[in-house]
């Protein structure tokens, strides 16, 4: 017998029975103590393991979405700006996503998705049991991505707290959430949510945005091949981007097509035909997808931002739908009219400032020698030049920059760009029907419809004539066509005058004075309006200037920064195009001014109306009789009259606009701003053309220059009218202006009455 206890006396153990009993008792006691320790340790280990498991389970479930999140999954959905006829004009988004129902998604897309991503989708309960059995194999090899069903992928897309890290924990959370999703939603709902949340190439989120971005069509119209191309991107949105890697994308598309064939969604014949087809994209950049009027979209954003914040919404993720007054058909024609005409005018403008054989617009730099240096001062190259050249001498920096011909040429070309804008308003309710703030929002975000305030030139004269009509003067009243001077308080002379004297008799009726935009006639109105006929003091004209300013303000123009000077009559006051066109709607609306209106209602993503807007009907600004006489006088701008042509005659002669229309051209003194406003009973349209930089202007010493409202701004309106009237689907009317009930246009007085009036005023 082997003895493992060194303290036992073996001789005594075998010879002394009592001793053997004692040793046996001690050994039994030791075994009992060991068993107790074993069980204590085992229980402790078990408790620790159970606690750790419970802690892990608790940790696992802490990363799962709540019941509320499962029942109301939140996806960042773009808010949309829509026209009154339902066309998307603009979007605001964090992720470029438009949610669509499964009924608006082509079956080709659904079939491609099922065949490629989860062909047993309709037979499992969120986890594919066959794929599940392979997971231990994947996990041993440190691959935690295998076997994901559509429901599991949706769990990752919907609930960011699950995360995308490569770990067993994330995979278990994904699987548990997938089962919960299956318990809360039908298979159709799961497919719908999946296709609306998944990311595609080119920063398109959701199938609708992806379809419009890549193929320029809604998801409902996607073909089999297009569907395979889109679904093929889900494996790796960058690697299978058809724009950047067409061959690789084509190979991936064919894999999807093959899976569709193997799963019975398409025949082998269709597969063989489609696999050799090239991928044909109709690419629309995501930042421009669905955008026809980005300028207008920014204006709308500014209009709704306070309401959005006050009511707890997020414009970039809550999927609001903002319905506007814009008509998409009119908007489309307005955009094209502005872009086409500015493209036409730019090379003409450059030629007018360039001498034969001279450098780019050399005549401009000669006439305004300070322009180039002022432009250079505004460049980064100038601001950084002092540090780069280690000098504080401006002359050193300028010498360095002016020696760089490429740099100087780039500055000249960048700062001599023309811009144009256009807007149209329904005078009966103030609805803005079209809005073009510039030629390209991507390169120039400054909006020339409402942000830009420029001198109005002769488009301001109707407010002067409206004051005169309101004070008893009639369209037939005559004034001298010769200039008149006034002494200013400083002793200097104010000598406003026309560039040249018009032909014909000396005395010119107000109707003709407005139609021909005669400064001399307009200025001679001021003493009459001021109640100081025959005065030669400029100070005596202040009451007239104040009345003119108040008239413009009553018609909707912000005159808070306008000085009360006689020169206001010739258009020195500044206004935005939106204000100017809105003011003219007062004439077309029988003297009632309605503030311009852009938004009609806002809905949530479910279509529930959150807020509605209505026209702001103001009180009568001028009498219906005054409004109609002004309309009739401004008809002459387009039609002309006996022995004279109005400044807007091109609208009839060139653009063949024969319906009842009134309007006014405008050009500022330095030809920096060209305007035209046209009125019909159902629409008032206005356009502006000028330099992108307000220092840029057209030549003023050339009668043939296009730097006039009639030659730049008017053609935009004419082009717009031509395009719209040729479009049978665009809303347009041909009604004529109607005089107020019982109104009879005043007839000219007799010769004796006219002679008596001349004697009274001293002319």
Band (752; pLDDT cuts 50, 70, 90): low
The Cα 689–Cα 583 span in angstroms is 19
Q: Which two tokens stand for residue 35?
A: 């068993």
Average pLDDT, the chain: 87
Say how far apart CA 530 and CA 564 lie, in whole Å: 13
Q: What is the mean pLDDT of residues 519-541?
A: 93
* pLDDT for the residue 530: 92
Return the pLDDT at 287. Answer: 58
Q: Which tokens go with 83?
A: 């026209």
Strands 204-205 and 486-487: unpaired
* pLDDT of res. 55: 58
Give the tens place of pLDDT for each residue, 98-118: 888 999 999 999 999 999 988
The partner residues of 434 in beta bridges, in order of sequence, read 424
Whether the per-residue pLDDT at 132 is higher than 70: the answer is: no
Query: How far from 563 is each of 334, 520, 572, 646, CA to CA, in Å?
Result: 34, 21, 9, 30
Print the SS3 string covering 616-671: CEEEECCCHHHHHHHHHHHHHHHHCECCECCCCCHHHHCCCCCCCCEEEEEECCCC
Give me the pLDDT at residue 304, please: 95
The pLDDT tens digits of the residues spanning 263-278 come to 999 999 999 999 999 9
Structure tokens at 363: 């005549």
Angle at 611 between CA 605 and CA 617, to 5 degrees: 145
Three-state DSSP class for residue 204: strand
More confident residue, 704 or 680: 680
Q: What is the DSSP letter of 559?
A: -
Name the least confident of 4-8, 129-133, 240-244, 296-300. Answer: 4-8
H-helix or E-strand spanning residue 601: strand 599-603
CATH of domain 418-756: 3.40.710.10
CATH, domain range 95-291: 1.10.3810.10
For 347-401, how does the pLDDT look when each residue is reduced to its tens digit (9 = 90+)?
999 999 999 999 999 999 999 999 999 999 999 999 999 999 999 999 999 999 9
Closest by alpha carbon to 261, among 298, 292, 224? Answer: 224
Distance CA 433, CA 139 (A): 61
Nearest to 498 by CA among 511, 484, 488, 508: 484
C-beta of residue 320 within 8 angstroms of C-beta of residue 301: no
Q: How does residue 95 score in pLDDT terms, banded at 50, 70 and 90?
A: confident
**Which residues lie below 8 Å from residue 202, measured CB to CB, with a gap of 6+?**
213, 214, 241, 243, 283, 285, 286
Band the pLDDT of 619: cuts 50, 70, 90: confident
Exposed, middle or buried, 85 (CB in 10 Å: 0-12/13-18/19+)?
A: middle
Q: What is the pTM of this model?
A: 0.77
Q: By CB neighbour count within 10 A (0-12 exposed, 13-18 middle, 19+ buried), where does 645 fall?
A: middle
Distance CA 20, CA 9 (A): 10
Residue, of 673 and 44, whose pLDDT is higher: 673
SS (H, E, C) 48-111: HHHHHHHHHHHHHHHCCCCHHHHHCCCCCECEEEECCCCCEEEEECCCEECCCCHHHCCHHHHH
DSSP code string of 418-434: EEEEEEEE-TTT-BEEE
Residue 718: per-residue pLDDT: 97
The number of CA neighbours under 13 Å toward the Cβ of 569 is 30
Give CA torsion, residues 291, 292, 294, 298, to 10 deg: -90
pLDDT above 70 for 165:
no
The ranges assigned to domains in the chain are 10-62, 95-291, 418-756
Alpha helices in 439-487 (DSSP H): 461-470
The string of pLDDT tens digits covering residues 62-80 is: 555 554 555 555 667 889 9
pLDDT of 164 > 60? The answer is: no
pLDDT at 434 over 90: yes
For residue 638, give the nearest of 688, 687, 676 by alpha carbon. Answer: 676
- Measured distance CA(318)–CA(556) in Å, rounded: 35
């Amino acid at each position: 017998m082997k003895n493992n206890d060194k303290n036992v006396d073996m001789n005594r153990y075998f010879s002394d029975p009592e001793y053997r009993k004692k040793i046996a008792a001690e050994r039994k006691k030791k075994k009992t103590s060991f068993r107790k320790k074993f069980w204590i340790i085992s229980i402790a280990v078990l408790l620790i393991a159970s606690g750790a498991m419970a802690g892990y389970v608790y940790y696992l479930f802490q990363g799962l979405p709540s019941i509320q999140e499962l029942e109301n999954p939140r996806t960042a959905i773009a808010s949309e700006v829509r026209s009154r006829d339902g066309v998307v004009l603009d979007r605001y988004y964090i992720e470029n996503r438009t949610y669509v129902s499964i009924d608006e998604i082509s079956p080709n897309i659904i079939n491609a998705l099922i065949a490629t991503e989860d062909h047993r989708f309709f037979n499992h309960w969120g986890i594919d049991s066959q794929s599940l059995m392979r997971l231990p194999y994947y996990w041993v090899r440190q691959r935690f991505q295998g076997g994901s069903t559509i429901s599991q992928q949706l769990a990752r897309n919907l609930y960011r707290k699950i995360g995308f890290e490569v770990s067993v924990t994330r995979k278990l959370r994904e699987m548990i959430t997938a089962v919960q999703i299956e318990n809360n939603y039908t298979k159709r709902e799961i497919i719908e949510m999946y296709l609306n949340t998944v990311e595609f190439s080119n920063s398109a989120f959701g199938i609708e945005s992806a379809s419009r971005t890549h193929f320029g069509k809604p998801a409902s119209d996607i073909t089999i091949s297009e569907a395979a191309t889109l679904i093929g991107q889900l494996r790796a949105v960058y690697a299978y981007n058809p724009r950047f890697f067409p061959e690789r994308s084509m190979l991936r598309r064919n894999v999807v097509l093959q899976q569709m064939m193997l799963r019975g969604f398409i025949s082998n014949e269709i597969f063989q035909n489609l696999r050799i087809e090239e991928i044909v994209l109709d690419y629309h950049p995501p930042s421009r997808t669905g955008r026809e009027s980005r300028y207008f979209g920014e204006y709308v954003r500014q209009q709704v931002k306070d309401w959005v914040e006050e009511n707890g919404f997020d414009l970039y993720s809550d999927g609001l739908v903002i319905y506007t007054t814009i008509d998409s058909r009119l908007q489309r024609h307005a955009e094209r009219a502005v872009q086409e005409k500015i493209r036409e005018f730019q090379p003409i403008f450059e030629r007018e400032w360039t001498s034969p054989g001279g450098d780019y617009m050399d005549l401009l730099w000669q006439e305004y020698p300070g322009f180039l240096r002022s432009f250079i001062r505004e460049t980064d190259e100038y601001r950084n030049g002092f540090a780069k050249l280690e000098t504080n001498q401006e002359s050193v920096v300028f010498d360095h920059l002016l020696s760089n011909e490429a740099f100087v040429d780039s500055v000249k070309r960048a700062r001599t760009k023309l811009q144009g804008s256009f807007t149209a308003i329904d005078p009966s309710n103030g609805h803005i029907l079209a809005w073009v703030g510039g030629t390209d929002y991507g390169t120039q975000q400054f909006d020339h419809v409402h942000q830009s305030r420029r001198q109005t030139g002769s488009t301001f004269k109707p407010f002067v004539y409206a004051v005169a009509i309101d004070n008893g003067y009639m369209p037939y009243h005559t004034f001298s066509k010769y200039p008149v001077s006034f002494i200013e308080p400083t002793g200097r002379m104010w000598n406003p005058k026309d560039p040249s004297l018009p032909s014909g008799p000396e005395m010119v009726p107000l109707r003709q004075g407005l139609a021909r935009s005669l400064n001399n006639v307009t200025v001679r109105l001021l003493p009459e309006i001021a109640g100081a006929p025959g005065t030669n003091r400029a100070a005596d004209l202040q009451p007239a200037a104040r009345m003119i300013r108040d008239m413009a303000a009553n018609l909707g123009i912000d005159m808070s920064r306008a000085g009360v000077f006689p020169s206001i009559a010739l258009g020195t006051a500044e206004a935005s195009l939106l204000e100017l066109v809105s003011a003219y709607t007062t004439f077309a609306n029988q003297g009632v001014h309605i503030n311009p209106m852009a938004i009609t209602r806002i809905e949530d993503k479910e279509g529930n109306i959150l807020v509605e807007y209505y026209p702001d009907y103001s009180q009568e600004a001028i009498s219906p009789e005054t409004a109609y006489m002004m309309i009739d006088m401004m008809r002459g701008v387009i039609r002309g009259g006996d022995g004279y042509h109005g400044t807007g005659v091109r609208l009839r002669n060139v653009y063949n606009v024969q319906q009842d229309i009134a309007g006014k051209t405008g050009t500022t003194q330095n030809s920096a701003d060209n305007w035209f406003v046209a009125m019909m009973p159902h629409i008032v349209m206005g356009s502006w053309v000028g330099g992108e930089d307000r220092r840029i202007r057209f030549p003023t010493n050339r009668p043939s220059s296009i730097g006039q409202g009639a030659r730049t701004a008017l053609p935009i309106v004419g082009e717009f009218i031509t395009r719209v009237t040729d479009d049978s689907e665009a809303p347009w009317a041909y009604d004529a202006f109607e005089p107020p009930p019982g109104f009879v246009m005043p007839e000219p007085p007799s010769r004796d009455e006219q002679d008596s009036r001349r004697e009274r005023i001293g002319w």
